[in-house]
Amino acid sequence: MDTVSYYTPEGLKKLKDELAQLEQIERPRVSQEIADARDKGDLSENAEYHAAKEEQSLLETKIAKLKNVVANARIIDESQLDTSKVLIHSKVKIKNTANKMEFAYTLVADSESDVRNGKLSVNSPIGKGLLGKQVGEVAEIKAPNGIMNFEILEISR
């Protein structure tokens, strides 16, 4: 079953650019490596040939997966986002109830995730715990080091 994922216009462009890079640059490079290795003779003992064939297999798998993601991607109209609860592409300000530290994140699709820049995957433990919550609610997140509680302070677009 194909999963529909929602992206910002920039996020979808980034995916399409990566796909183009793989198809137009990486695929020909790997094909050339295979041809170069094949020209060196006996393929049964040619480590370069086998490594290049393995790289080609991994590359084609990655291309196929990325094509599937792009085919099932939808642009989200951020002006239509509901700010009464946390959803994908919500900007959310949260406070750790234990140490009172505040954080601001935008919930995004896995491929747009970039925690250092405040973009948190909706499929991460914190992302999953925040989804559907409203301002004033506390999200209980199961983390590797125990339960963490985050109070939802603000939701915006």
Q: Which letter does DSSP use for residue 127 in this model?
A: H
Residues of the chain under the 70 pLDDT cut: 1-2, 77-83
Q: Is the pTM of this model over 0.85?
A: no
Q: Where are the alpha helices (DSSP H) in 7-74?
A: 9-21, 27-38, 47-71
pLDDT per residue as tens digits for the range 99-117: 999 999 998 888 788 889 9
pLDDT per residue as tens digits for the range 69-90: 888 887 876 666 666 788 877 8
Full set of structural domains in the chain with CATH: 5-75 (1.10.287.180), 78-156 (3.10.50.30)
Listing DSSP states for 56-120 in one string gives HHHHHHHHHHHHHHHHTEEE--GGG---SS--TT-EEEEEETTT--EEEEEEE-GGG-BGGGTEE
| Rounded Cα gap, residues 48 and 63, in angstroms | 22
